[in-house]
Amino acid sequence: MIVRNISDKAVMETTYLAHGGAIAQMILDRRILKEIGFLAIATLEPGKQIEAHVDPMEEIYFVLQGSGEMGVDDETHQVGPGDATWIPTGSSHCLLNIGDQNLVILVVASPNW
């Protein structure tokens, strides 16, 4: 069993700028996981955006806090706490913080088997 906290040194050491706007950390990734690509947490400040991009894996964005505008291919929806968005492999996706507080999301990714 492995238990990780978002404040753990191993998580904080993975901090990076994700797609032009979010500050992200890998909570669990391929260094440990066998079937799942990764579990990450990302924070977008008000007005910031995860720029449109395409990943070679299926993803889920789960909103923990804040409000945003999620775009997947040609669809756009407002999202808030408790909303999960499925992003199919190869789909263009972006997320804009439209609120006045930080937008915090969990991202789960899995390779396309």
Please, what are the domains in the chain?
14-98 (2.60.120.10)
Banded model confidence at residue 4, pLDDT cuts 50, 70, 90: very high
User: What average pLDDT does the structure give for the chain?
Assistant: 95
- DSSP, residue by residue, 30-91: TTT-SSS-EEEEEEE-TT-EEEEEE-SEEEEEEEEES-EEEEETTEEEEE-TT-EEEE-TT-
More confident residue, 113 or 27: 27
What distances in angstroms separate CA 3 from CA 7, 12, 17, 23, 99, one per listed residue?
Answer: 12, 15, 24, 22, 32
Banded model confidence at residue 30, pLDDT cuts 50, 70, 90: confident
Give residue 113's pLDDT: 62
pLDDT, one tens digit per residue, over 76-103 is 999 999 999 999 999 999 999 999 999 9
